[in-house]
Amino acid sequence: MYYNNETLIYLNGKFVKASETSTDLYSQTLHYGYGVFEGIRAYATENGTSVFKSKQHYQRLKNSAELINIPFNFDVDQLVEATYELLERNNLSDAYVRPLVFCDPNMSLSRPNNVSIMICAWEWGAYLGDKQLRLKVSSYCRPHPKSVKIEAKVCGHYVNSILATNEAKDQGFDEALLLDSDGFIAEGPGANLFFEKDGVLFTPQLGNILPGITRATVLEMAQKLGVEVKQGQFQLKKLQSADSAFYCGTAAEIIGIESVDDYKFPLDWSDSIGKKLQNYYSELVRKSEKVLTTTH
């Protein structure tokens, strides 16, 4: 599903066949979840392939690694170039790109001496589909920021996301909503939350959530549209008296939320600020900031 015999991946500066590469079973990342990754989307534009906010994603990858003491000796600009080349070599345009920084064999809990980087890409539709979501408030909370570096995109953090997703789906919901350890609204397993009340947008402040690049884009778009956004700590009851809500993330893009547990948002999605932002986002990602059309 993700690759075939011809698929190339980028591994430590070289393009190699995905089917012919392997990794060490003694990797510290495999055993302890001690690695960092990114999720990036590329779009077909009038001028060729555009990797949306590629530099911001690789910068976050670097920050994530450094925050958890994983040495990151890769150049952000070179990784951006490598991503364009990877897409071109695989004939991909509308694609999801997954860089992963993983550690050498090490069964101890010390910091690694050597790490690798791989980048792979595949075609991937909207991660949460295009139907409005029915959310379940999770029994799991997001990891406490004093237990982990919550602003880093660390492999091991995603066990929390997987538990919450499975719990929601097993109970017949589409997706989970996680609170933070103080009981304030935090985020989805792989997306940030916004909600609308009386023409104003609200979103959880940074501190207990992943600082999403799509979240930052939504803040920029809202400003351009003249929509006020309030960031803060919000109780569930505030969300469950809101007019409308949406999730945003690179994989999910912008997707409307129909309900949270048994509360159904009263405003029609087509009349919401979220819908306007969804259209705006769809245009924005297909307008390239930097497009490479050269043949490597």
The residues binding ligand PMP (CB under 6 A) are 39, 161, 187, 190-192, 210, 212-215, 249-250
Alpha helices by DSSP H, the chain: 28-32, 54-67, 76-89, 158-170, 213-225, 236-239, 273-285
DSSP one-letter code for 138: E
Dmax (CA) of the chain: 56
Nearer to ligand PMP, 112 or 189 (CB): 189
Distance from first CA to last CA of the chain, Å, rounded?
A: 26
Nearer to ligand PMP, 74 or 127 (CB): 127
DSSP strands (E only) in the chain: 8-11, 14-17, 36-37, 40-45, 48-51, 95-103, 115-122, 133-141, 175-179, 185-187, 192-197, 200-204, 229-232, 244-249, 253-260, 263-264
Shortest distance, CB of residue 267 to ligand PMP, whole angstroms?
A: 23
Q: For residues 59 and 266, give the distance between their C-alpha atoms in angstroms, rounded to a whole number.
A: 39
Nearer to ligand PMP, 68 or 267 (CB): 68
153 is catalytic: yes
> For residues 64 and 153, is the Cβ–Cβ distance under 8 A?
yes
Nearer to ligand PMP, 8 or 176 (CB): 176
Shortest distance, CB of residue 149 to ligand PMP, whole angstroms?
A: 13
Nearer to ligand PMP, 59 or 259 (CB): 59
Catalytic annotation, pick one of 153, 224, 230, 264: 153
> For residues 178 and 141, is the Cβ–Cβ distance under 8 A?
yes
Alpha helices by DSSP H, 177-235: 213-225
DSSP one-letter code for 274: H
Shortest distance, CB of residue 175 to ligand PMP, whole angstroms?
A: 12
Nearer to ligand PMP, 99 or 212 (CB): 212
**What is the SS3 assignment for 149?**
coil
> For residues 52 and 42, is the Cβ–Cβ distance under 8 A?
yes
Cβ count within 10 A of residue 56: 15
Active site residues: 153
